[in-house]
Amino acid sequence: MNFNEYQLSIELVPQTSWYTNLRNMMSRENWDKVRKAAYWEHGYRCAVCGVTGVQLYCHELWEYDDENHVQSLKGFTAICPLCHHVKHIGLAGILASEGKLDLNAVVEHFMYVNDCSRVDFEQHRHVAFSVWESRSRHPWTVDLGEYAALVEDSGDSSVDRRFNWVVQKRIQTLKDDMKP
């Protein structure tokens, strides 16, 4: 199966991206607006697997221009915990190693949603990490597009300070992103 044909796919943000996460860049009020709109827009179902009655997560949708190394925010979606763990499979691995997550349940959810085998999952993960490694060789510019207005301190020009901060906070912000 082709990488992009899976209904539920892995999405890894390059290590060298300026992106932290929008939840931390926005006021609580704006973030609540964004996430509630995403939940409502998808009828309070997971936009990927359709499950209802579970806590949903607001997940950012990015597009990558591999020529100019620009990462553009295309919007937000509402997804269930298992789909979100597939999207952030790197963090899921960290949580599993800390005994906080059953990684097998995440892999089985991928297989169930995509109607595929474990070998298909392993191949998809391999490709996703290859893409992530190659994208992590370059610095990325983040284009928030129409969402830039929602971010309060987007005028911060101290790029070096920010980059150091991003590296240090990466795992923590990914963990925050997993919160409802």
Question: Residue 83 interacts with Zn ion (CB under 5 A)?
Answer: yes
- The total of other beta-carbon atoms located within 10 Å of residue 20's CB is 20
Residue 46 or 107: the one with the smaller Cβ distance to Zn ion is 46
Tokens of 176: 């925050």
DSSP 65: E
SS3 call for 13? coil
Buried b (16+ CB within 10 A) or exposed e, 89-118: bbbbeebbeeeebeeeebbebbeebbebee
Residue 52 or 164: the one with the smaller Cβ distance to Zn ion is 52
Minimum CB separation of residue 52 from Zn ion in Å reads 10
Question: Residue 35 interacts with Zn ion (CB under 5 A)?
Answer: no
Minimum CB separation of residue 151 from Zn ion in Å reads 17
Question: Residue 38 interacts with Zn ion (CB under 5 A)?
Answer: no
Minimum CB separation of residue 175 from Zn ion in Å reads 11
Which residues in this chain contact Zn ion in the complex, by CB under 5 A? 46, 48-49, 59, 80, 83
